[in-house]
Amino acid sequence: MTLEGSSLGTTPAAPAIREVLSFARSEIRTAAAGLWPTATVEVVAHVPSVTGYVCRVRVGDRDLYAKYSYLGISLVSLSRGARGGWPCVRQAQRAYTVRQDALLVREAAQLRFLGALGRPRVCAVAGLHPSGVLFTERVAGPTLASLLLDRPQDTAVLMESTWSELDRLHHPQTVRRLTPADAIGERGIASTFRRKFDGVGGSLHLDRLGDERCSMDGRAELVGTVRQVVARLCGVRGPARVPGRPVLVHGDLKPEHVFFPQGPAHRPVFIDPGLRRATGPETDAAKLISRCVLLLAATAPGPLVARLVMQGVGAFAEQRMSVLTGQDHHLWVREVLALWLMDTVNVLTTCLSAPSALPLPTHGEALARRAAAVAALADRLSAHLVGTTNDMALWERSLDTAAGIGGVGR
């Protein structure tokens, strides 16, 4: 996911949402007809996303997903005028789609790389059109997200099953097999956080936070809370990198990106990779944990489910920490918690920055509605991070606090 936030103020030149979505839909239809000229093409449904335009497509008797990326930036940034008005975007897009480093060109290369690697299993590339449209095969079955809510008592097992699929990816020898040109560094948690909040642009971004998504009542308090969290996280050193040889990380490890086509007892299939080089797999662990907590925040499944999920998250984390000693243990806890919180703030501020006319995913809409609760959670956890020196007490307190976000009504 590419999330930019350095210039998100609404301007008169910002493209209209209807223009952005309509053009992408037309490009997808044209691309499908170009790749499969004898097949009947039907654009079935828009799948709301902040990263780009995504839709389900029926091509002949095949169910596919199609993606279209504007300039490699998020639809939120684009629709806030980050690249100027619609004529400027159209002109820049013509040049962007033929670049070899275009985002979806790299994503297609990564899916093919993982397909050849064999582990983890990934969705197959059905086609990549020169106009910049990526088609992938549909993956059926429940997602990790749905299974966590339906079977919260199995959270630890489900997370371990997901994580074990990444063993080959996380092996130091694998890093040499992906060319640097195919990496997707834009989806890094810390780099996204810095891009959003560094300097004057970051302050302006926070000034406009929630201007179309929040009521005036409470908005000032919400923005103040987010500012406080951002300031704490900017003051955290690092996050300090755990020593180790470079590895590849999935980079966008979310529960909704992991499918179990044959059921939870079988190997999962992954979608939407953001492979990049890292000094260790901690960033994958942090994103997976962060998104599990945000899943609870968005769905508010009740205290029992929330507690069971967070107990499973705790067991998963204990397994990661069990092989570490001394300073490595200390660095793991503080790095993962700092990245977890950065990712939470990244997601929350993206949802709140989206113009009201831009459809958000169901969970994104829910997070925008529960923004005050999510910001309050980030506030408490970041206070734990900067105020607690006992690592295990810090970690256990953070997990206990996070469980509370899923136990209150929407």
Does 98 lie in the same domain as 188?
no
Does 114 lie in the same domain as 190?
no
Does 312 lie in the same domain as 163?
yes
> For residue range 362-396, what is the model confidence (pLDDT) as tens digits?
999 999 999 999 999 999 999 999 988 888 899 99
Does 126 lie in the same domain as 245?
no
> If you average pLDDT over residues 80-106, what whole number do you get?
94
What pLDDT, on a 0 to 100 scale, did the predictor assign at position 337?
96
What pLDDT, on a 0 to 100 scale, did the predictor assign at position 241?
54
Pairing of strands 133-137, 247-249: unpaired
What pLDDT, on a 0 to 100 scale, did the predictor assign at position 10?
43
Last residue of a domain, one of 109, 137, 165: 137
Q: Are 278 and 248 in contact (CB under 8 A)?
A: yes
Q: Are 121 and 267 in contact (CB under 8 A)?
A: yes
What pLDDT, on a 0 to 100 scale, did the predictor assign at position 218?
86
CATH number, domain of 351, equals: 3.90.1200
**Model confidence at 200, in pLDDT bands (50, 70, 90)?**
low
Task: Give the whole-angstrom CA distance, residue 250 versus residue 134.
Answer: 19
Task: Give the whole-angstrom CA distance, residue 401 versus residue 305.
Answer: 14
Task: Give the whole-angstrom CA distance, residue 402 versus residue 180.
Answer: 36
Does 153 lie in the same domain as 121?
no
Closest CA to 115 of 142, 140, 136: 136
Kindly tell me if the per-residue pLDDT of 242 is higher than 80: no
Residue 11, domain member (yes or no): no
Closest CA to 31 of 57, 49, 51: 57
What pLDDT, on a 0 to 100 scale, did the predictor assign at position 208?
87
Last residue of a domain, one of 102, 137, 172: 137
> For residue range 23-67, what is the model confidence (pLDDT) as tens digits?
999 999 999 999 999 999 999 999 999 999 999 999 999 999 999
Q: What is the mean pLDDT of the chain?
A: 91
Provide the domain limits for residue 257: 144-406
**Model confidence at 204, in pLDDT bands (50, 70, 90)?**
confident
What pLDDT, on a 0 to 100 scale, did the predictor assign at position 408?
60
**Model confidence at 2, in pLDDT bands (50, 70, 90)?**
very low
> If you average pLDDT over residues 281-295, what whole number do you get?
97
Backbone φ and ψ for 81, nearest 5 degrees, come out as 90, 20
Residue 375, domain member (yes or no): yes
The three-state secondary structure class of 176 is helix
Does 341 lie in the same domain as 227?
yes
CATH number, domain of 67, equals: 3.30.200.20
Angle, CA 29 vertex, CA 26 and CA 34 arms, to 5°: 125
Residue 9, domain member (yes or no): no
**Model confidence at 217, in pLDDT bands (50, 70, 90)?**
confident
- Quote the number of domains for the chain: 2
Count of all residues that appear for the chain in the document: 410
Last residue of a domain, one of 82, 106, 137: 137
